[in-house]
Amino acid sequence: MTENSAIPVHVAVYDTYADWEAGFATAHINRPDWQREPGRYVVRTVAATADPIRTSGGMRVLPDLTLDELSPAESAMLILPGNDLFPTPAYQPFVAKAREFLEADVPVAAICGATGGLALAGLLDNRPHTSNALEFLQSLGYGGSAFYRDELAVTDGALITGKAQAPVEFAREILAKLEVYEPAVLDSWYKLYGAKDPAGFFELNTVTN
């Protein structure tokens, strides 16, 4: 499969983007090793404007496209990393795009502060989800407490949510939803990166594409 025929997975980028929170997911979506269909997906960045953004770690990112150019029909998933903008008007375009994706039943994966942005918009009121802490979301005045799950990452249909301290578990849910790996391969992947068990490395290196 060529890059031109690959299905885009879109990662939202904005100033204060938390570099570490989506890194496991994006690296392994883009890396063909161990995948069921190497090259099936390609990672693309999307921002509110075409201007460069500066991540929390100081990295400069030039977006591939803007939100107004992004259609759920042309995307496999929208990933929303954590950020400090989520309670401000600057984040509203990303929340609106997430709503559009969910209404089209195209997956959205949000972690850390991005879950706060979804909570403020009422998008977590009726869906099982997680976040950094229940108290964090309650402080925003959201109405979804009954659906909160104190887990590292939660998948409910098209919505994936994760805690800031669990980028590996967040990535595992994303990789599973996209069916990037066979289930047994994903188990070995998590054994290596999540459980820190070197046996996972040797298991992965027995996989042939």
15 burial (CB, 10 Å; 0-12 / 13-18 / 19+) is middle
Contact partners, residue 151, CB within 8 Å, separation at least 6:
130
* Cα 56 to Cα 14: distance, rounded to the nearest angstrom: 9
List 112, 123, 160, 175, catalytic entry: 112
Which spans in the chain are helix H?
Answer: 23-30, 92-103, 113-120, 134-138, 167-177, 183-193, 199-204
User: Is 160 one of the catalytic residues?
Assistant: no
Following DSSP, what letter does each residue of 144-188 receive, concatenated?
A: -GGGB--SSEEEETTEEEE-TT-HHHHHHHHHHHTT-S-HHHHHH
| Exposure class string for 121-138: b at 16+ Cβ within 10 A, else e | bebbeebbbbbbeeebbe
Q: Which two tokens stand for residue 187?
A: 């188990």
* Cα 128 to Cα 91: distance, rounded to the nearest angstrom: 22
Find, among 110, 49, 100, 104, the residue nearest to 79 by Cα: 110
* Cα 46 to Cα 48: distance, rounded to the nearest angstrom: 7
Residue positions annotated with a catalytic role? 112
